[in-house]
Amino acid sequence: MTEHKRTALPSDAQSPSDLDPALQPRLVVTDLDGSLLDHHSYDFSPAKPWLARLKQLGVPVIPVTSKTRAELIPLREALGLTATPFIAENGAVIGLPPGWCHARLDRPGNGRDGVVIKHTGVDSGFIKARLNVWRKRLGVRFTRMGDLSLQQVMALTGLDETRAKAARQREGSEPLIWEDNAAALETFRIALEGDGLELTQGGRFWHVIGRLSDKGGAVEWLIKRFTALRGSPPLSLGLGDGPNDITMLETVDQAVVIRGCHALNVEPHNSALYRTNATGPTGWAEGVAHWWGRDDGRLEMAPVNDAAASDYKPREASV
């Protein structure tokens, strides 16, 4: 898709053109559960000073998550990130607020979230159909989220009824619980590749998405959109704690692997890589400070307004 620079943007939107012209353009992409949000309590207060500072400077902070668009609607508001894009379902869905849209390329957003939605791969209906085929043909054991009742999803994830319903509103992916051995998993993975699908590991589920729909591909698309709007490429910083964050961390200029509350291997290939000592939002703030806390006095000394970030603590589980 060819990008054309937009000449007029809403005055109240945090778009690339809102950035301090004295700063090199910057962009933050971040995982949520176990990264910006605490793995257990889902609190993000340790990250609030940096969130407020970046918001004041007009540096977009973009959630990149396995959550659905429906789950992100209230969460973006709570985090103060409604003016920035989001990437949902591990890269299958990109949401663009008005300040990130091109008048000639993007249809107006609809629904209460008011964003333009880009689907980067196949729809969830195709994925579900192929999963049913391969489960029968290979004789492998797994349970799709779509196989679970609402009550089972609530019991498995700890979500309340409203958020469990939102987690089931898949557009371009399908979570599953793997119940077979490692050899069967590899056979299953190869079968999915023949359908143009891939398997990625999340916090509680494996996720099946289109092969071109991972977090890294979606982040690359947004960086190109940012460059078209801003007129120059940004210095990009990515933060995450899980295997499904690896492609994102390999796409950005500077990467942070936040120490996770799990034993999963996270080894992105990025020469500018920092591993935190702290977990969750404390590690998130540690990672941002490592790369950006000392290289520019305006970033380090900018006054912080805590009101720019919410005290919301979402009681929900990573999928």
CB 206 within 8 A of CB 176: yes
Which residue in the list 31, 38, 195, 241 is annotated as catalytic?
31
Query: What are the phi and psi torsion angles at 147 (to 5°)?
Result: -80, -15
Query: What are the phi and psi torsion angles at 311 (to 5°)?
Result: -90, 5
Q: How far apart are CA 95 and CA 198, in angstroms?
A: 22
**Residue 31 falls in the annotated catalytic set:** yes
Instruction: Tell me the pairing of strands 197-201 and 206-210.
Output: antiparallel
Active site residues: 31
